[in-house]
Structure 1
Amino acid sequence: MADWSGGNDRGPTPKADAIWTCVAGEAPLYHRNRQAAEDWLTARIGDEIDAGRRVLAGFDFPFGYPAGLARALVGEDDPLILWRWFAERIEDAPKANNRFDVAGEINRLFSGTGPFWGNGLKRDIHDLPRKGRARDFDAVPEWRVAERRAKGAFPCWQMTGAGAVGGQVMMGLPMLWRLRDRFGAAAWPFEPLEDKPLALVEVWPSLIRKVVAEAQRADEVRDAAQVRVLAAAVAALPPDRLAKMLSVEAPEAAAEGWIFGLGHEDTLADAARAATALKPPALQNDCFALPPGVEWTPVDAALALLRDRLEPVTATETVPLGDALGRVLADPVVARRSNPPLPNSAVDGYGFACADLPVGDPVLPLVAGRAAAGLRYEGTVPPGHAIRVLTGAALPDGVDTVVMQEDVELGAGEVAFRAGVKAGANVRRAGEDVTAGDEVLAAGRVVTPADLALCAAVGVDRLTVRKPLRVAVISTGDELVEPGKAAEPGQIYDANRPMLLALIERAGHVPVDLGRIADDRVRLRAAFDAAAAQADAVLTSGGASAGDEDHVSALLQQAGAMSLWRMAIKPGRPLALGMWQGVPVFGLPGNPVAAIVTACVFALPALGLLAGRGWRVPQGFDLPAAFSKRKKAGRREFLRARIRDGRAEVFRSEGSGLISGLSWAEGLVDLPEDTAEISEGDAVRFIPWSGFGL
């Protein structure tokens, strides 16, 4: 369900009278402008269709105009041609559009003044009156039939002011036309749905306004509540009820459109109440038990989502070789020159043409001079002659083989050696290492000292690299105090922030310390805003679960930015992944062990991708276990571990608050979801800290 808007960009902070969407069973999403909303709709609908699911997408604006407008504009009563007419004329940008000008253009087609009215601009629009009472018009009806039947509905002609929907219609129909064209959708009720993958339907949340008011949460924007409740209601309808609502008997609907659920308000309201009613969960003694309807998200599934949805965000710049160490290549490096550029000698010795050697042990006269590294010998070595050659020297013309000086006898002006020297011996061929035009380093590589040598050898003196990724770190919680300061009873020192700041730096990124934030949603929102302005990604610790003071997940949910949480991982199940003003946020658990595990498993690969390095799977190896363990199937577990005598030892306790185990450990043992029992000697996967890039 989508609550549309005809206005300009509403900014990064979620607010009312903006665009909100909601997929049944998920949190509402805020979109700051129509362009961002259409991009999201296109991507999400495409994902659902690719997964083999059919989609019903509802939009809260009229899909047509009162009978007569289509014929006046396009010469026939087909409302879908009217969609295309608007798509061809509407110019839309986040901060401006031409909807008022188009309304005036349509008014000029009729005698009198109207039918459109309302101008939200400072400049006057020719033939578009600012007030409805200025109209003198009766060529087309004021209302569609559906609007006359829907109590409280507004006509399509009002372009601005309280209750106006004219701008929504005019800015929404082009979007519908593009979705219909892209996905082969059916526009209801103008076309039969049949087996089309996407059904576009007109909705009006006010049909169930009372239920929406009952279900609206204390801190929820009304527009968000409307799409959430309506999506839940439609998803809860039995198939026969849904089919009945999609059957419209009013003949005017074929030309004007119709509101889904009109005439079935009680049925829709009952479905909404049932879908949004509070359902208390059964009592649980397991602290890791999930709320009803929430399933574990497997680690690999979460990683796949991050890998597919994220992309590099850092800008690029070109720097000299001396400034490129440790930077991420933005473009491939192509050799400007072969290495070696010319055939050269691999040893100190004597060069000659092998094909011209006499039978038996050769004795060759020496030409004057020598070939040394640097300037090439300019003469030509005649057949049957040899020349003194030093290591690295370009081979003179007439030389294709070099015999080592240790294998010759030097006489007066001549040199002798045993028969059997093979053609091309002790010679490096031109381009043997790299040929000019070869790609020598791929984009995404972190530049090493050896890479600098290679680049210099092939004539490359400057590299296009990405600017370092900036990662903000925020600790949350009233219980935290700064190390070294006096701690009250019940308070603890903030161990996570210095750990995460160091982890980010060791991973090659730039840490941005935004300090500690108390359990105060207003202050945390301000910190998120500051982080989005200063950094490319955000790591928080604490507040990622579902308690009263878990403000990280609550803010992300409220902003419609929460992607997923409740990971099938131990330690670290309460993990929030979301977006804030377009910046990825990784809400890590508050316990230090869980924080570093989830940072290594989820955040570091994702940060590498954002930095332009590509997705890198942590590198580990199999070792015999020096421990035994029984575990429940269903969750992936990471144990603090180290290697002793070729076997993997694990820390004495799995408690997430035992920070000493992190210093003790040299990495993590990774136990798959389905592993049930490990005995000493069984092979286990050990990932050293270096395997995570630390």
Structure 2
Amino acid sequence: MTGFDSVLVVDWSAASRRAPKRPSKDAIWLGFVRGGVAQEPIYCRTRIEAEARIHALIAEEREAGRRLLATFDFPFGYPRGFARCITGSDDPLLLWEWLAARMEDSESGANNRFDVAEEINAAFDGPGPLWGKTHRDRWPGIPYDKKGIVFAEVSEKRKCDCAARTSSSCFQLCYNPTVGSQILMGLPMLSRLRRMEGVAVWPFEAWQNASVVLAEIWPGIIERAVKARMERGDAGMIRDREQVRLLALALSRLPAEALARMMTGLPPEAAEEAWVLGAEHAETLSALATDQDPLTPPPLRNDCFALPAGVEWTPVETALARLRAGLSPVVGQETLPVDAALGRVLAAAPVARRSNPPAANSAVDGYGFAGGAPEGAQDLPLVSGRAAAGVPFDGAVPPGHAIRILTGAALPEGVDTVVLEEDVRSDGTRVAFRGPVRRGANTRAAGEDVVAGTDLLPAGRRLKPQDIALLAATGVAEVALRARLRVGVLSTGDELRPLGAAAGPGQIYDANRPMLLGILDRWGHAPVDLGHVGDDRAALRDRLETAAGRVDAILTSGGASAGDEDHVSALLGEAGALGTWRIAVKPGRPLALGLWQGVPVFGLPGNPVAAFVCTLVFARPALSLLAGEGWRAPEGFNLPAGFAKSKKPGRREYLRARMRDGRAEVFKSEGSGRISGLSWAEGLVELEDGAREIAEGDPVRFLPFGSFGL
């Protein structure tokens, strides 16, 4: 049995730091093909995350009864004689275990590979075969470069390295390509994977009937195909991502007989040194590494929440980045009085017409005088009159005198200090208190809050009640505002009935439209009810045509998937305006994002929970950008989980949640039709794209509905 149902290609990394959050080169990428169809490559920021994903994928394939070929882009063995020098045996798998017992890794990427390399070199005469390090003055047992190393006890390269024309020696630890470091960080991981049930290592073990086979591969074998793909792609294409995807496709397309010939009849050195799968077959594999998928039916899937085969799934971050890059404000401007501007978006920064406070004034009720007071008893004569807010003192206070002054009153000439009323005794003609009182105590300087002529608030800010107060206090009477963003809401589907109408078997009431209209109103947009259209493509086209002249953006619900009655995505596709859809998010994977006559359309799922979540995650920041408010990402914080969950890799998940006793509780069901969970919840728990085992008390990210403007 040499055929495989699935193929995994792993581009490994020995980096000493976490890869960036944004997918990038020089990180770990997993290319995966199932049933002959390439899946979205997986980006891993750390080796620990990658191993967990690989482990989960192996378990998933075995459980489903699919046979998996898992390949890795670093040597499985060293040149003949190396293992014996280290372990006393020629068995390469004993060397794997030796390394697994010594290598240490961390989530930050910090590891001890140079310490282990130094221990390895100590087993050889002379400088040892491993060379290259990050610091000249550290690890004295490792040469800084290859100069002076004599490969006498072991060869510099394996036989398969020569056959496949790989790029470097497995003894090179630093300076690209750092294959030597990849081996040290990779073999311990393989040693742990090998202990899983049904896993065998080619060519070291009997692999022909194993359900999972680990094999060594070198992506440079398909360099010609990768280069051609990069030349055709856009400037932002990541080479490592394309490389693992194309190589996984090539291996999956090999006829079983051709693959069997590559995996058998190996030279004797392979028993200790391993072998590069496809060595000397670069042309064959390059020819198969194309984007032209054969018309192969995907295997049946019983898990409705699993990612279906044959679709390029778009990660949430990628979809959001595309929206942010592709949208800009679409609304005009108008000028309104400040008292009519609440909830509107500023088109320009308003400028303070006067300072706040406009003059130096008293912060308390008390007695004002000049220069502060030294320590000890003080006794000052009072001038006739007083200073009150709105009724300034007409005159000057002589030196050595004090005046009765009330909170908010402008400081008279000759006053720069106020003593608190509770700290004095007065008979109406004199005032006595104890010092010291510092100069300037209990006073406010003119303009200490805002100086006239300065910008008060940035353009793009949606005005809050406290902003109205600031504008009024600084003399601003009118502001330039963005016009309200007009957002149409349209429901689709024959099954929907309006509120108040009779609903027959198989029919449901339209819950999405009133919910979405209410959300838009809370966000400060101008909601436009576009009504309901049944499963009629022509009628839907007419409604979109009419709406495009009335609104600035459209939210539809239902019809965003790929079925016969999913007319929203079909129409956007026919118009050549379907930009991004089938986003890797739960709930809500059938999400269509596109344009209709230049108007952005958000094709939301029909299930109310999915429609609600997708509106918050995708529509809210995009609509804010269209409205001139800028990109509004939600703010969250970590809480201990008040639940346990096993999450599969592949999709970002949002769970209905609320905070109780400092912990995040989640709704009892994740079903998208459980609308009651939206009323129960006070926010969402966001679970990252990768696999995760969550136990009670583990930190999870909680996004309160308030951070979405609700």
TM-score by length of 1: 0.58
Partner of 2:363: 346
Which one of the candidate residues 341, 357, 377 is aligned to 1:361? 377
Q: How does 1:631-646 map to 2 (within 5 A)?
A: 631-646=647-662
Asked if residue 657 in structure 1 is aligned to residue 686 in structure 2, the reply is: no
Q: How does 1:134-283 map to 2 (within 5 A)?
A: 279-283=295-299
- The CA deviation string for residues 586-610 of structure 1, in whole angstroms up to 9 with x for no partner, is 0001111111111111111111111
Cα 1:405–1:667 shift into 2, 3 Å: closer
- The CA deviation string for residues 641-669 of structure 1, in whole angstroms up to 9 with x for no partner, is 22233222222221212222222222211
- The CA deviation string for residues 386-436 of structure 1, in whole angstroms up to 9 with x for no partner, is 222221111111111111223222236322222311111111111111112
Write the distance in 2 (CA, Å) between the matches of 1:661 and 1:527: 32
Asked if residue 303 in structure 1 is aligned to residue 333 in structure 2, the reply is: no
Is 2:395–2:413's contact at 8 Å kept on the other side of the alignment?
yes
Write the distance in 1 (CA, Å) between the matches of 2:300 and 2:625: 39
| Residue segments in structure 2 that go unaligned for 5+ positions in a row | 1-23, 26-229, 234-286
Write the distance in 2 (CA, Å) between the matches of 1:561 and 1:516: 22
Q: Amino acid of the residue matched to residue 367 of structure 2? A: Y
Partner of 2:69: none
Which one of the candidate residues 627, 633, 636 is aligned to 1:611? 627
Q: Secondary structure at the match of 2:518?
A: helix
Cα 1:575–1:360 shift into 2, 3 Å: closer
Write the distance in 2 (CA, Å) between the matches of 1:285 and 1:198: 33
Write the distance in 2 (CA, Å) between the matches of 1:393 and 1:583: 56
Partner of 2:519: 503
Is 1:623–1:647's contact at 8 Å kept on the other side of the alignment?
yes
Q: Secondary structure at the match of 1:308?
A: helix
How far has the Cα of 1:289 moved from its partner?
6.1
Write the distance in 1 (CA, Å) between the matches of 2:510 and 2:462: 32
Partner of 1:440: 456
Which one of the candidate residues 557, 569, 585 is aligned to 2:601? 585
- The CA deviation string for residues 239-290 of structure 1, in whole angstroms up to 9 with x for no partner, is xxxxxxxxxxxxxxxxxxxxxxxxxxxxxxxx9xx99898243233254566
Which one of the candidate residues 330, 334, 350 is aligned to 1:317? 334
Partner of 1:167: none
Write the distance in 1 (CA, Å) between the matches of 2:528 and 2:598: 18
Is 2:307–2:650's contact at 8 Å kept on the other side of the alignment?
no
Which one of the candidate residues 456, 474, 481 is aligned to 1:458? 474
Is 2:344–2:484's contact at 8 Å kept on the other side of the alignment?
yes
Partner of 1:564: 580
Partner of 2:537: 521
Which one of the candidate residues 288, 300, 313 is aligned to 1:284? 300
Partner of 2:638: 622
Asked if residue 378 in structure 1 is aligned to residue 394 in structure 2, the reply is: yes
Q: Secondary structure at the match of 1:444?
A: coil
Asked if residue 555 in structure 1 is aligned to residue 571 in structure 2, the reply is: yes
Q: Secondary structure at the match of 1:484?
A: coil
Asked if residue 427 in structure 1 is aligned to residue 433 in structure 2, the reply is: no
Write the distance in 2 (CA, Å) between the matches of 1:276 and 1:361: 95
Write the distance in 1 (CA, Å) between the matches of 2:447 and 2:687: 47
Cα 1:350–1:308 shift into 2, 3 Å: same
Is 1:330–1:465's contact at 8 Å kept on the other side of the alignment?
yes
Asked if residue 406 in structure 1 is aligned to residue 422 in structure 2, the reply is: yes
Structure 1 residue runs of 4+, over 6 Å off? 196-199, 274-278
Cα 1:526–1:363 shift into 2, 3 Å: same
Is 1:546–1:553's contact at 8 Å kept on the other side of the alignment?
yes
Cα 1:645–1:416 shift into 2, 3 Å: closer
Cα 1:590–1:413 shift into 2, 3 Å: same
Write the distance in 2 (CA, Å) between the matches of 1:661 and 1:686: 16
Q: Amino acid of the residue matched to residue 557 of structure 2? A: S
- The CA deviation string for residues 618-645 of structure 1, in whole angstroms up to 9 with x for no partner, is 1222222121111211211111222233
Is 1:562–1:578's contact at 8 Å kept on the other side of the alignment?
yes
Write the distance in 2 (CA, Å) between the matches of 1:625 and 1:408: 56
How far has the Cα of 1:453 moved from its partner?
1.3
Partner of 1:334: 351
Write the distance in 1 (CA, Å) between the matches of 2:679 and 2:466: 32
Q: Amino acid of the residue matched to residue 425 of structure 1? A: A
Write the distance in 2 (CA, Å) between the matches of 1:571 and 1:367: 74
Is 2:375–2:436's contact at 8 Å kept on the other side of the alignment?
no
Partner of 2:613: 597
Partner of 2:693: 677
Is 1:281–1:291's contact at 8 Å kept on the other side of the alignment?
no
Q: CA RMSD in A?
A: 2.8
Identity of aligned residues (%): 65
Write the distance in 2 (CA, Å) between the matches of 1:522 and 1:198: 37
Partner of 1:266: none
TM-score by length of 2: 0.57
Write the distance in 2 (CA, Å) between the matches of 1:343 and 1:280: 81
Q: Secondary structure at the match of 1:317?
A: strand
Q: Secondary structure at the match of 2:461?
A: coil
Write the distance in 2 (CA, Å) between the matches of 1:492 and 1:282: 33
Write the distance in 1 (CA, Å) between the matches of 2:581 and 2:383: 79
Query: How many residues end up aligned between the 2 structures?
Result: 430
Write the distance in 2 (CA, Å) between the matches of 1:444 and 1:412: 55
Write the distance in 2 (CA, Å) between the matches of 1:359 and 1:555: 84
Cα 1:276–1:673 shift into 2, 3 Å: closer
Write the distance in 2 (CA, Å) between the matches of 1:293 and 1:497: 32
Q: Secondary structure at the match of 2:411?
A: coil
Q: Secondary structure at the match of 1:564?
A: strand
Cα 1:677–1:377 shift into 2, 3 Å: same
Which one of the candidate residues 498, 519, 530 is aligned to 2:546? 530
How far has the Cα of 1:556 moved from its partner?
0.7
Cα 1:197–1:318 shift into 2, 3 Å: farther
